[in-house]
Structure 1
Amino acid sequence: MARSYAQAPITTVSAANGIEYAYREVGEGGVPLVLLIHFRGNLDNWDPALVDALAQRRRVIAFDNTGVGGSSGRTPSTITQMAMDAIAFTDALDLVQIDVLGFSLGSFVAQEIALIRPALVRRVVLASSAPQGAPGMHGWAHWVIDAVGEPEIDPARVLDVFYTQSPESRSAGEKAMGRMFTRTELDAPTTWQTRHAQYDAVSAWGVPNFSLLERVTAIQAPVFVANGDNDPMILPRYSHLLAGLIPQARLKIYPDSAHGFLFQHHAEFADDVEAFLTDPR
């Protein structure tokens, strides 16, 4: 087992759905924590500092879902199918019970996993999240999707979405990016097909529908909802809405941070996640 996420090799596993999934894992013991990444992200978009902190007392697994990065197949255009594919991955690893940490798009998938197969999921962490059908979530602001949705990704524009304009937040973002992309073995980049399919899924998730808001009330697992106080991609008000709808949810908003709050505040966030996952209540 690799001692750090930066050293963890990319491994593959064949699932019953015919997909070859690429993944990295680090740490040992406890209920495995499965990580679900953001829009257009792959294995390299997890901050090693955060993953290593999360893996101090448990096995942590990051993977590329169907058609993403080094995984085979075509990326589906619905959150439900992404969740089914993620479940196929956990089945391929013979995981009987997991904790899930979903970030942004990954947090939508995490909600669906908890609804589709509740017996699989013990606890759920939803970072920069929103419930399906929330008013105002139909797509992102034009400047946001322009920053993260173009064929060529500009790191400076990504920083504008993931971090605030304060010197402290900006510096934290630059350091996080440096940690992400200094390894020798990089994952395959995500494709243009993945970009379109994932944004179709995000847009469909955000079509206003008040009746769909009730779906998350069926999540029985304890849930930790977290966000940055200046997230322009998924506004903090959606985190408050989500935490209010889920029966066993707790909420924390991190200061002077945006979409990448969990990387900017990686030590504090990891401590909060550990406290949540080990809370006997």
Structure 2
Amino acid sequence: MYVDAPNQVIQAAGGVRYAYRRCGPAGGSPLVLLQHFRGTLDSWDFELIDALATERDVIVFDHAGVGLTTGTICRTVRELTADTLAFLEAMDVRQADVLGYSMGGFTAQEMALIRPDVVRRLVLAATAPRGAAGIHGYPDDVLAHADFEDLGIQDYLYTFFNHTETSQRSGLEVVGRYIERERDRDVPVATADRAAQYEAVVEWGIPDHRALQRLAAIGHPVFVAGGDSDLVVSPQQLHLLAGLLPDAQVTIYPDSGHGFLFQHHRQFAEDVLRFLR
């Protein structure tokens, strides 16, 4: 179970020591999960990972300079992509299925474009295409609840879950699962590192029609997914992303926000595993 998965470390050729956790059956292409803004090993919902790990070898890691990983923080999506490829090389992963969540979805798209041989299938969750209108930084209300040192439960619920009784209750259940891991927890992202990550988010969102056209080069099967009430990435962005990809399907989950994959973890995991099969 992911709640008990040990922290492991592997050193890449460049000297960075990557912290990661791994669970699920060995063999075949692993499923590599890429983090959201200020996410760490502890930011993934344990029940989602466990559901995915019933069929897949799931790998989660901290980027350079984040959490328990050494090195210099990445300031652009291209740097995040190079960092991901360095980790996979160190792990001797030649090809993987990739699930990119939010900022991690930016990295997943870039990976598929510059190293298509490394990616088998792509899951893009609560994310947007480079250069799309309306994503040049997070909305002010989201930043007010996401970009400071100590996030409270109410800040998390505001940003990641729909503002309905059912969705907020689901968010509280996720928080309850989050605190189940009592030992060997990851380290929160520091203020300076968080600012560097946000530079990558803002740079990705600079309006650029030519960047949108690049998506036509992604020939992999892609599953695009998100919540119907996401304050960070609107359903319109998800449909735009899917429409620009040659081989994509899109699913919007009801009564959910940016954390739709945690709220609907059972259904989302079932949909992802079916897609990956």
TM-score normalized by the length of structure 1: 0.96
Task: Tell me the secondary structure at the aligned position of residue 58 of structure 1.
Answer: coil
Match of 2:82 in 1: 84
Match of 1:169 in 2: 167
**1:112 shift after superposition:** 0.8
Q: Does the CA contact (< 8 Å) of 2:148 and 2:191 recur in 1?
A: no
Match of 2:136 in 1: 138
Match of 1:114 in 2: 112
Report the more deviating stretch, 21-30 or 224-233.
21-30
**1:91 shift after superposition:** 0.4
Q: Percent identity over the alignment? A: 49
Q: Does the CA contact (< 8 Å) of 1:44 and 1:181 recur in 2?
A: no
Match of 1:191 in 2: 190
Match of 2:10 in 1: 13
**1:151 shift after superposition:** 2.1
Question: Per-residue displacement from partner, 1:204-251 (whole Å, max 9, x unpaired)?
Answer: 100111111011111111100000000001111110000000101110
Task: Tell me the secondary structure at the aligned position of residue 116 of structure 2.
Answer: coil
Match of 1:44 in 2: 42
Q: Does the CA contact (< 8 Å) of 2:225 and 2:250 recur in 1?
A: yes
Report the more deviating stretch, 201-210 or 183-192.
183-192
Report the more deviating stretch, 26-35 or 101-110.
26-35
Match of 1:211 in 2: 210
Question: Per-residue displacement from partner, 1:182-205 (whole Å, max 9, x unpaired)?
Answer: 212201111112211111110010
Match of 2:20 in 1: 23
**1:19 shift after superposition:** 0.7
Task: Tell me the secondary structure at the aligned position of residue 119 of structure 1.
Answer: helix
**1:153 shift after superposition:** 1.4
Which structure 2 residue ranges, 5 or more long, are not aligned? none
User: Please, what is the CA RMSD of the aligned residues?
Assistant: 0.8
Match of 1:273 in 2: 272
2:156 maps to a residue whose letter is V
Task: Tell me the secondary structure at the aligned position of residue 25 of structure 1.
Answer: strand
**1:71 shift after superposition:** 0.4
Aligned length: 275
Q: Does the CA contact (< 8 Å) of 2:224 and 2:250 recur in 1?
A: yes
Q: Does the CA contact (< 8 Å) of 1:30 and 1:57 recur in 2?
A: no
**1:77 shift after superposition:** 0.7
Runs of 4+ in structure 1 over 6 Å off: none
Query: C-alpha separation between the residues in 1 aligned to 2:59 and 2:175?
Result: 20
Match of 1:241 in 2: 240
**1:73 shift after superposition:** 1.1
1:18 maps to a residue whose letter is G
Question: Per-residue displacement from partner, 1:15-34 (whole Å, max 9, x unpaired)?
Answer: 01221000000001332000
**1:74 shift after superposition:** 1.8
Q: Does the CA contact (< 8 Å) of 1:75 and 1:193 recur in 2?
A: no
Q: Does the CA contact (< 8 Å) of 1:127 and 1:227 recur in 2?
A: yes
